[in-house]
Amino acid sequence: MLDKSSKIYVAGHRGLVGSAIWNNLKARGYDNLVGRSHAELDLLDPAAVKAFFDAERPDAVVLAAAHVGGIMANLRYRADFIYQNLQIQQNVIGESFRHDVKKLLFLGSTCIYPRMAPQPMREDALLTSELEYTNEPYAIAKIAGLKMCESFSLQYGCNYVAVMPTNLYGPNDNFHLENSHVLPAMMRKAHLARLLSEGDWTALRRDLALRPVEGVGGAADRGLIEDVLARYGITPGVLTLWGTGAPMREFLWSEDMADASVHVLLNVDFGDTYDHACSEIRNCHINVGTGLELSIRSLAMKVMSEVGFDGELRWDSSKPDGTPRKLTDVSRLHALGWRHKVDIDEGIHRLYEWYRQGLADERRG
């Protein structure tokens, strides 16, 4: 068991989930935390990772670091997604084993499941049919990571547990349109569409100054700004989103994910994740989600309402939808003692408040 003095290394502690896990641990009284930014420690460098473990010798590791992105990024940078994630996992899990880490928590993604998996997706749906093409390289990397945890635990008696969260959103989310996930991308597009429709160029330039789009910042020529926003479906009075809006998705507030992760880290061992009567031990990972879903179209309507954009919503059906439906079965997680707290309406409101606060802080700065 980990106690309040245990040294816990949170890999990816500045990211969406890692930062929330860090804060959750702090709130519970776990103050002996270790984190390194990418500039301080390149997890792709095996020598650097070894040197870090040699120096710090953590008792526990939370592997929340990953190379992530939305459907556009996954399509464009397939090699980056499989190579970088495999390398990060190989280095961190390998050094955790070599340095006798007591507990490791690996964070994956529910994109590990087949494109046409039975819904809701149980843990035993893994590897039963082909993956969704758009994110196949990332999914394969995450499958490898959870299988590393499973295999080290079975062969060497390690206590490595893998959790597979559904689509996450929350504070410190990525709002850069080129590589963000669906909900933050949708929210920022609706925000920019509202500003463009209202002719509020002061606020629009402030937003682009904080997060340029394809290198186009707030000081750029107005025509250049209009051109780059149009490439992302943002025009006066009209917002165009990818796909048909028909796919069903489940969303989990990142601070809920952090709470679930810390609950598993502190209370769930590898031996709790499978039926000991089974002759073949596999699929020991744990789904983390709400067990609730809504269509991308319904999500868009909620986001537009929250942001205050009352223009026309269009769908570009020439662009891919991704997996038709992706709902997790969270019965294993519930049996292990955890349930979500933040529903989608409250989460969308909180996220937009966080986004607006960041813009306000930048203005004052």
Residues tagged active-site: 138
What are the E-state strand segments in 160-259? 160-165, 167-169, 234-235, 238-242, 248-249, 251-253
Helix (H) or strand (E) holding 256: helix 254-267
**How deeply is 217 buried, as exposed, middle or buried, from its count of CB atoms within 10 A (0-12, 13-18, 19+)?**
middle
User: Which residues on adjacent β-strands are paired with residue 161?
Assistant: 105
Say which residue the tokens 């662009």 belong to. Answer: 319
Closest-CA residue to 186 (of 146, 145, 251, 233): 233
Contacts 24+ apart (CB under 8 A), 232-235: 232/177, 232/189, 233/189, 233/314, 233/316, 234/189, 234/192, 234/193, 234/196, 235/193, 235/196
SS3 (DSSP) at 107: strand
Q: What is the Cα–Cα distance from 209 to 119, expressed in whole angstroms?
A: 42
Is the link from the previous residue into 137 a cis peptide, with omega within 30 of 0?
no
DSSP track, 313-340: EEEETTS----SEE-B--HHHHHTT---
The angle subtended at Cα 253 by Cα 136 and Cα 28, nearest 5°, is 115
The C-alpha angle 270, 275, 276, rounded to 5 degrees, equals: 85
Left if phi > 0, otherwise alpha if psi is -120 to 50, otherwise beta: which for 282?
A: beta
DSSP 8-class letter at 131: P
Structure tokens at 32: 């002996």
Angle between helices 296-307 and 344-364 (to 10 degrees): 40
